[in-house]
């Protein structure tokens, strides 16, 4: 009798350990699947969007905010992700930084803003930043060897975890690569030159575009005001820390950093100052050294200042994801 109870307890305990281990190993795909099953919220009504002071509708989906005579923020305020893409116009050509979500076609909006030939580059490969890549004549990519190695017959196709579109019901379609932009290299648009910086952390392939003349950095989902997504399958807190320290050393203190998602109460192209990078660096160091407490189940939220949280996976503080090489 005792032996049978003992055996049942051991078997039950073993099954539990296996179940918990499987859950732990597959937590990210499981949580992402839960997000997929929950579904994306419906588009907000156009009338429900309170535009920012500098913002105008361009059609019934996109808005445009003019940052200066030749720089535009194009956003998608009705979509819950409130994506921002940026159009930089030179005397000879233009660059679109991110092509937005796949919900609509951004190219007619871009054509209204410039008659120059437009190249596009994504700050990273997530579906809400490459959604209109195929609608532009020239797609540029950062010249990273592992991206080149995965380009076949001139075509690059992101993999499922790089793209993540499946979780909102979007198929992956790749694009023809029109040019490789070297890391640290300049792109001359005519009277205006931009530099490509690698800024891994949110994803390994993340880049930012530096406009030295206007002291603006277009940094995609690297950081911003609000939530910093450092919990995704290929996010790395170690890469975040390395990138943040490098940007703090290299960028002038008056730099404005533009993010790729809105969310502030008053609508405007989302930008923060270098002070936010100092907070991010200090917060990451505190996380690494277990001096900062997180809240929530998954992802865990770590407050780095009044407005901003780093969202991290369970392996965050003290865990393997600090490794970076």
Q: Which residue number, 189 or 223, has a Cβ lying nearer to Zn ion?
A: 223
State the nearest-atom distance from the C-beta of 129 to Zn ion, in Å: 6
Determine the 3-state secondary structure of 279 from DSSP.
helix
State the nearest-atom distance from the C-beta of 137 to Zn ion, in Å: 25
User: How far is 319 from 205, CA to CA, in rounded Å?
Assistant: 22
State the nearest-atom distance from the C-beta of 207 to Zn ion, in Å: 12
Q: Which residue number, 140 or 223, has a Cβ lying nearer to Zn ion?
A: 223
User: How far is 88 from 79, CA to CA, in rounded Å?
Assistant: 23
User: How far is 181 from 196, CA to CA, in rounded Å?
Assistant: 7
State the nearest-atom distance from the C-beta of 62 to Zn ion, in Å: 19
Tokens 């793209």 locate to: 163
Q: With CA atoms as reference, report the closest residue to 104 among 60, 51, 140.
A: 60
Q: Which residue number, 84 or 292, has a Cβ lying nearer to Zn ion?
A: 84
Q: Are 188 and 174 in contact (CB under 8 A)?
A: no
Q: Which residue number, 83 or 292, has a Cβ lying nearer to Zn ion?
A: 83
b/e code 283-318 from CB counts within 10 Å (16+ = b): bbebbbeeebebeeeebbebebeeebbbbbbbebbe
Q: Are 125 and 110 in contact (CB under 8 A)?
A: no
Q: Which residue number, 126 or 163, has a Cβ lying nearer to Zn ion?
A: 126
State the nearest-atom distance from the C-beta of 177 to Zn ion, in Å: 20
State the nearest-atom distance from the C-beta of 40 to Zn ion, in Å: 15
Which residues does 144 contact at the CB level (< 8 Å), separation at least 6? Answer: 183, 198, 205
Q: Which residue number, 78 or 126, has a Cβ lying nearer to Zn ion?
A: 126
State the nearest-atom distance from the C-beta of 231 to Zn ion, in Å: 12
The three-point CA angle 206-211-217 to 5° equals 45
User: Counting Cβ atoms within 10 Å, is residue 143 exposed (0-12), middle (13-18) or buried (19+)?
Assistant: middle
State the nearest-atom distance from the C-beta of 130 to Zn ion, in Å: 10
Write out the residues near Zn ion by the rule CB under 5 A.
Answer: 126, 221
The DSSP symbol for 135 reads G
Q: Which residue number, 115 or 171, has a Cβ lying nearer to Zn ion?
A: 171
DSSP string of 193-260? Answer: EEEEEE--SSSTT-EEEEETTTTEEE-TTS--SSEEEE-STT--HHHHHHHHHHHHHHS-TT-EEE-S
Q: Which residue number, 223 or 292, has a Cβ lying nearer to Zn ion?
A: 223
State the nearest-atom distance from the C-beta of 232 to Zn ion, in Å: 8
Q: Which residue number, 130 or 284, has a Cβ lying nearer to Zn ion?
A: 130
Tokens representing 261?
């998602």
């Amino acid at each position: 009798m005792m032996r049978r109870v003992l055996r049942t307890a051991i078997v039950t305990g073993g099954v539990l350990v296996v179940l918990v281990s499987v859950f732990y190993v597959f937590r990210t795909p499981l949580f992402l699947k839960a997000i997929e099953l929950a579904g994306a919220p419906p588009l907000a009504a156009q009338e429900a969007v309170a535009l920012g002071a500098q913002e105008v509708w361009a059609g019934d989906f996109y808005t445009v905010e003019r940052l200066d005579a030749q720089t535009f923020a194009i956003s998608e305020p009705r979509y819950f992700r409130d994506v921002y893409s940026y159009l930089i116009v030179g005397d000879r050509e233009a660059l679109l930084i991110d092509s937005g979500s796949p919900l609509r076609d951004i190219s007619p909006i871009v054509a209204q803003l410039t008659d120059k030939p437009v190249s596009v580059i994504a700050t990273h490969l997530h579906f809400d930043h490459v959604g209109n890549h195929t609608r532009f004549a020239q797609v540029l990519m950062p010249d990273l060897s592992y991206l080149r190695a995965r380009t076949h017959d001139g075509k690059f196709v992101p993999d499922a975890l790089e793209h993540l579109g499946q979780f909102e019901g979007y198929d992956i379609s790749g694009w023809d690569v029109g040019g490789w932009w070297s890391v640290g290299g300049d792109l001359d648009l005519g009277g205006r030159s931009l530099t490509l910086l690698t800024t891994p952390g949110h994803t390994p392939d993340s880049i930012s575009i530096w406009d030295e003349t206007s002291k603006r950095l277009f940094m995609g989902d690297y950081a911003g005001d609000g939530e910093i997504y450092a919990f995704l399958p290929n996010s790395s807190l170690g890469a975040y820390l390395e990138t943040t320290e490098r940007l703090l050393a290299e960028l002038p203190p008056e730099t404005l950093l533009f993010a790729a998602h809105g969310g502030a109460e008053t609508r405007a192209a989302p930008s923060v100052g270098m002070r936010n990078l100092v907070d991010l660096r200090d917060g990451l160091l505190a996380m690494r050294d277990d001096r900062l407490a997180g809240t929530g189940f998954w992802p865990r939220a770590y407050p780095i200042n009044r407005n901003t949280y780093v969202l991290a996976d369970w392996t965050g503080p003290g865990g393997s994801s600090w490794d970076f090489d």
